[in-house]
Amino acid sequence: MALNALDRHIALVGFMGAGKTTMAASLAELLHWPVVEVDREIENRYRDPIPQIFDEYGEEAFRRVEAYAVGTAVERRHRSIIDLGGGAVTFRDTHDPLDHGAFTLLLDVDVDTAWRRCQGTDRPLAQDEERFRRLYDERQPLYREVADASVLSGDVDGALLAAAGIHHELGALDRLGELVPGDGAVALVADTTVMGIHGPRAQEALGERLVSMHELPSGEPAKQAHVLERLWSELTLDRSGTVVALGGGALTDVAGYAAATYLRGVPWVTVPTTLVGQVDAGIGGKTAIDIPKGKNLVGAFHWPARVVIDETLLATLPERERRQGLAELVKTQLLAGHGLDVRGAAAYKAAICLRDPHDHGVRRYLNLGHTFAHALEAAADFDLPHGEAVALGLLAALELSGRDPAPVVDALDPQPVAVDPDRAWKALLRDKKRERGAIMLVLLGDDGPVVEPRDADVVRAALERLIV
The DSSP-derived string for 357-368 is: TTSSSGGGGGGT
The pLDDT confidence band at residue 435, using thresholds 50, 70 and 90, is low
Choose among 143, 78, 102: nearest CA to 3: 102
pLDDT for 357-392, tens place per residue? 999 899 999 999 999 999 999 899 888 988 999 999
| Cβ-proximal residues to 257 (8 Å cutoff; 6+ apart), any chain | 228, 287, 288, 289, 298, 299, 300, 302
Contact 35, 44 (CB under 8 A): no
Beta strands 242-247 and 268-272: pairing type? parallel
Whole-structure pTM value: 0.94
pLDDT for 184-226, tens place per residue? 999 999 999 999 999 999 999 999 999 999 999 998 899 999 9
Choose among 107, 101, 105: nearest CA to 9: 101
Residue 168: which H helix or E strand, with range? Answer: strand 166-168
Rounded Cα distance, 126 and 39, in Å? 16
Q: What is the DSSP letter of 237?
A: -
Choose among 399, 402, 415, 386: nearest CA to 460: 399
Supply the DSSP string of 177-227, one letter for each residue.
HHHSSSSS-EEEEEEHHHHHHHHHHHHHHHGGGEEEEEEE-SSGGGSSHHH
Report all structural domains of the chain as residue ranges with CATH numbers, in order of start: 9-163 (3.40.50.300), 168-317 (3.40.50.1970), 346-464 (1.20.1090.10)
Quote the percentage of the chain above a pLDDT of 70: 99
Alpha carbon distances (Å) from 211 to 177, 186, 297, 314: 13, 6, 31, 27
| Average pLDDT, integer, range 123-128 | 85
Rounded Cα distance, 274 and 248, in Å? 5
- Interaxial angle between packed helices 156-163 and 20-31, expressed in degrees from 0 to 180 and rounded to the nearest 10: 60
